[in-house]
Structure 1
Amino acid sequence: AGSLIGAFAVSANAMLLSRFIEGIGFSASTVAGAGIITHVTSTKDRKWALGVWSSYVPIGFAGMLIGSALILGISDWRTLWLANAMLTVFWAALAFFVTNGWRRRGARGGGDKLLYNVITCFKQRGACLVAACFAMYAAQHISMMAWLPTYMRETYDASTLLAAAVPAIILLFNAGGNWMSAWAMGRAMPSWCLLFAGALGMGITQLGVFSGSIGEGARLGCALLFGIFGGMIPAAAVGSVAVYTPAPSQIGTMNGLMVMGTNAGMLFGPPAMATVRAGTGAWSEVIWLVASMAGVGVVLSLITRPMERNANSE
């Protein structure tokens, strides 16, 4: 509905309304997705499956970058929104067809009450810290993806096509990081360790991306590594849902907590980077902002170590 309204929007207010509806649909889909995966996986495979599922963001993002370029090359933006609406309806219908009737399996108890689930999930301190770590990741990642095209044009005088292609490639590397992290969790690697490695790697590679003392090839290599290290965090955060959730019926609510964390990061990350860039006039000054975010992520991951151990022993 949101994309359809946007396709026929003739004012800024209508466009904002369409984006608001799309946001609700996106959040609802991501929260429900965790519950679907829980339904079809065993306890042993759940962390791995949730980790793989986390790659829907970079793969979808990269796919839309490529798809948008192709559609806009032969038509206008309204056609793009209509195509997006039709694609969404198709997948929604398919999901309904596959999952219809699942809600009738098994008995429901008090744990399915929304308020009870929310309170119970927020009492899991480890999960809240993981969500905060996820927020630090999202702030860095979305900022990089949003501002990298401008950075490429200003610093390297890159063409519009090249400036758009580089983020898409980094997103594919990000998906690779998702899968690596999921593979590691499937072999009993603790989530805190992956969060730590991802946050530390993001911080180090961003020093290279925004540094003025290394060559262009090295900067591109750092950007690709940034994608890989960053991809480790969403998989670990979403995979930790299976660790911290007290009951299977609360998987969706706990995943909602993780989604809330990443949405918070997306909200404050780009404005913070833009403010620093506008205030200093130099991209190199952004290093201290992104390094601070990465440092917070490192600290949060270490704090969750004993909490994850206790959750696994319960």
Structure 2
Amino acid sequence: MTPAAPLSPPTDWRAVWLVVAAGVAAASHLGKVAIASPQLQNELGLNLGMLGGLGATFAVLGALGGLAAGSVVARAGDLRMLCLGLTATVLGAAIAVPTDSFAVLLMSRVVEGLGFLLITVAGPTLISRIARNEDRNMALVLWSCFMPTGMALAMLTGPWFSTWRDFWAATSMVSGLIAAMAIWWVPRGPSRLAKHEGGGSWGQVWRSPALAMAGTFLLYSLMFFALFAFLPVLLQQRMQVSTTVAGLLAAAASAVNVVGNLAAALILKRVRREALCLSASVVMGLCALGIFLPVAGPSTALALCLVFSAVGGLIPASLLSAIPEVTSGPAQGALAAGLLMQGSNLGLALGPLLIGSAVDWRGWPAAAACVVASALAMAATVARPRPV
């Protein structure tokens, strides 16, 4: 009688939630500049260009360094790089607290941004390693919630602090606490994933569906941030509400993205990823027409923003949970995660720039044209005869 194969250890959900918490903390560092902008302007005399530079640092680093971060995680180990990334966000925020210099503040954002990049690449790689096969899809879907959750938390908690310095100190302490807990509770893996697997090949990753997935992530991120970077302004114009109310409505619409992230776990049990991403891209494009064009009332436009965000959340969850299926091990998974993050950050950097220029040129209808064109490009990408 053939002996039964040994069972793999159960998924350590405490460790999974800690990794997700690390991602949420990283996203809160990304989002804190937007909510603290008035305080930064009043205290340090920063203009809108300077604030834009502080906000864009993370996207620029990710757009330039996603592939490199994937290589670093593959060579140095996922847990080690996750903790190093958290440590970088701790140090970056701490550097900023006592300063009155824009140059030092910008340098601190570079340090935080490098930490953010390491966390967002190491996170899905680490979850793929510690989750059992039957739990991996759900665990990666939970990971996909980190960005909207962290951004929404930054918007909601930022006003609680009397100064931006207190806010920065709090985010630094939270990241430090999560790093300490991760060191204690998250299972250690091979110190060098690539060496453990006999080498992680970029050639194999480039030939895999990961490249098309990165292109899809770029287009999704471009569409999402093209809308949400300007949503408060659009809501003020369409609904005639105050800046505060517009900000709260925009935060709520962004947070709805989590609903789509979580719904993907259930839908993917019945629907193929290609079909889900294709359908989501079509719905987002149609919603953009009603949001940007003067064809719907203010309440309808806001409802379409909620649908745009919720349906859009299906896409990153679908893509991130597919990484283990299109790669042959943690090292290649780290490379693929870096490629996807590079695509995501390219979209984050290009979306607001593209839409801002289009609106200046031809008004909000030009923004609708840009988003619809991106939706069509995404649909064409995922409809190609290869798995996503």
The two structures share one fold, judged by TM-score above 0.5? yes
Q: Give, in angstroms, the shift of residue 223 of structure 1.
A: 0.5
Instruction: Please name the residue that 2:148 is paired with.
Output: 58
Q: 1:105 to 1:283 in 2, by over 3 A?
A: closer
| Matched residue SS, 1:308 | coil
Q: d(CA) in 2 for partners of 1:156 and 1:18?
A: 37
Q: Is the 8 A contact 2:130 2:187 kept in 1?
A: no
1:273-296, Cα deviation, whole Å (9 max, x unpaired): 11011122x223211011111111
Letter in 2 for 1:26: F
Q: Give, in angstroms, the shift of residue 241 of structure 1.
A: 0.6
1:224-253, Cα deviation, whole Å (9 max, x unpaired): 000111101100110111221122442222
Q: Is the 8 A contact 2:355 2:370 kept in 1?
A: yes
Whether 1:243 aligns to 2:325 is yes
Q: Is the 8 A contact 2:238 2:298 kept in 1?
A: no
- 2:374 alignment partner, one of 293, 302, 305: 293
Q: Give, in angstroms, the shift of residue 155 of structure 1.
A: 3.1
1:49-104, Cα deviation, whole Å (9 max, x unpaired): 21221011111111111011222xxx111111111111111111111211264336
1:19-67, Cα deviation, whole Å (9 max, x unpaired): 1111111111111111221222122332232122101111111111101
Q: TM-score by structure 1 length?
A: 0.89
Q: Is the 8 A contact 1:130 1:237 kept in 2?
A: yes
Q: d(CA) in 2 for partners of 1:203 and 1:229?
A: 11
Instruction: Please name the residue that 1:312 is paired with.
Output: none
Q: Give, in angstroms, the shift of residue 199 of structure 1.
A: 1.1
- 1:152 alignment partner, one of 235, 255, 258: 235
Q: Give, in angstroms, the shift of residue 188 of structure 1.
A: 5.0
What pairs with 1:52-131 in structure 2 (closer than 5 Å)?
52-71=142-161, 75-99=162-186, 101-103=188-190, 108-111=195-198, 113=199, 116-124=200-208, 126-131=209-214
Instruction: Please name the residue that 1:165 is paired with.
Output: 248
| Matched residue SS, 2:134 | coil
Size of the aligned set, in residue pairs, is 298
Q: 1:286 to 1:104 in 2, by over 3 A?
A: closer
Q: d(CA) in 2 for partners of 1:81 and 1:284?
A: 38
Instruction: Please name the residue that 1:201 is paired with.
Output: 283
Instruction: Please name the residue that 1:212 is paired with.
Output: 294
| Matched residue SS, 2:114 | helix
Letter in 2 for 1:232: L
- 2:225 alignment partner, one of 139, 142, 165: 142
Higher relative CO (Cα under 8 Å, sequence separation at least 6) belongs to 1
1:251-307, Cα deviation, whole Å (9 max, x unpaired): 222111111110110111100011011122x2232110111111111111111xx32
Q: d(CA) in 1 for partners of 2:297 and 2:221?
A: 27
Q: d(CA) in 1 for partners of 2:187 and 2:263?
A: 32
Whether 1:26 aligns to 2:116 is yes
Higher deviation after alignment, 83-92 or 243-252:
243-252
Q: d(CA) in 2 for partners of 1:123 and 1:2?
A: 37
* CA RMSD in angstroms, aligned pairs only: 2.0
Q: d(CA) in 2 for partners of 1:31 and 1:53?
A: 11
Q: Give, in angstroms, the shift of residue 160 of structure 1.
A: 1.8
Q: Is the 8 A contact 1:241 1:251 kept in 2?
A: yes
Instruction: Flag structure 1 segments of 5+ consecutive residues without an equivalent.
Output: 310-314
Instruction: Please name the residue that 2:102 is paired with.
Output: 12
Letter in 1 for 2:230: W
Q: d(CA) in 1 for partners of 2:386 and 2:299?
A: 41
| Matched residue SS, 2:217 | helix
Q: Give, in angstroms, the shift of residue 140 of structure 1.
A: 1.2
Instruction: Please name the residue that 1:44 is paired with.
Output: 134
Letter in 2 for 1:97: W
